[in-house]
Amino acid sequence: MTSLKFADLAARIERFPIAGSFTISRGAKTEAVTVVAEVSRDGLTGRGECVPYPRYGETPETPEATLAAIQAMQQALADGLTRQALQAAMPPGAARNALDCALIDLEAKSAGLRAWNLLNRPTPGERISAYTISLGTPEAMAAATAKAAHRPLLKIKLGGDGDPERIAAVRKAAPESELIVDANEAWTEANLEHNLAACAAAGVTLVEQPLPSGKDEALARIRRPLAVCADESVHDRSSLAPLRERYDAVNIKLDKTGGLTEALAMADAAQALGFEIMIGCMVATSLSMAPAMLITPQARFVDLDGPLLLARDRDHGLRYDGSLVYPPDSSLWG
């Protein structure tokens, strides 16, 4: 009988330079700072990666505090803490995500199965991923879009004032691409309908989180001319039901849900409530994207372009062929 004892937990902070910079309404950054957890047993090691993000209101919210939260689970894991028990032992957020994904990876390796078979989920196939255009002036965004106009799905970061001009310039630079927009809470009730109309005129398919979380009641009072997706307003299953009148879709991110275990349950619950699903990511390496691929069979939109925004990915990273992203090899995860 295989022991439930875990021999070792290792965790560390890793930094990966971004190709250029990544800019949204809340600011710009030039590197991705990730926290990696490794859980080992009987000569096998499972890995998980997370990116703490202060805007999601989680505790802890810095890489150093997230690292400490993971390391604090050493004794519990040594005492046999299971992935199922982990859900109650830690709050949702990045730290639990890294451990949850590491435990799934280890379970799959121990059972000699791929993670989707272990979890009785559909086998993921290749999917078109969105490619992100950072926030900038209309001219700068049009120039960046022109270089990516061959991609079938573009995600456009907007930022409030001047967004109608930005999206019009982007559409002109990429007349054939499907466009989705992420406002990152930068719009107001005063410009909401005007900006939505501008996006509809540009043929945008979906707008993500136009209003601040907790101040998005106006979405239930207006006629929405295109689909609106919750990101900062939705975290795990418990936050779904109150959003039904305001949103048409939800963005599931493993760093918000606290891991793949909750993300899969959330995807099932969201579908049952009639939401379309986007599977999203932070700017991170393929180790963060790999578990998220298990959500893609249920997703209308796949936004797993994090590694494409980096100057370099980790070894054995996901295969990207243009905008197509493929399921991970077992050498990476799962």
Active-site option among 157, 172, 215, 256: 157
Residue 87 to residue 103: CA distance in whole angstroms: 12
Query: What value, to the nearest 5°, has the Cα angle with vertex 70 and ends 69 and 76?
Result: 100
Q: Which stretches of 10-73 are DSSP H helices?
A: 63-71
Is 157 known to be catalytic?
yes
CB 159 within 8 A of CB 25: yes
In 3-state terms the chain splits into helix, strand, coil percentages (rounded to 5) of 35, 25, 40
Residue 224 to residue 106: CA distance in whole angstroms: 44
Active-site option among 109, 155, 253, 256: 253
Query: What value, to the nearest 5°, has the Cα angle with vertex 290 and ends 77 and 68?
Result: 35
CB 6 within 8 A of CB 77: yes
Number of residues assigned to the chain: 334
CA-nearest of 210, 112, 204 to 154 is 204
Run of H or E residues at 261: helix 260-272
Q: At what angle do helices 138-147 and 163-173 cross, to 10 degrees?
A: 30
CB 302 within 8 A of CB 329: no
Residue 124 to residue 97: CA distance in whole angstroms: 20
Residue 104 to residue 27: CA distance in whole angstroms: 34
Which three-class secondary structure state does DSSP give residue 6? coil
Is 253 known to be catalytic?
yes
Residue 231 to residue 238: CA distance in whole angstroms: 14
What are residue 307's phi and psi, to 5 degrees? -65, -30
Catalytic residues: 157, 253
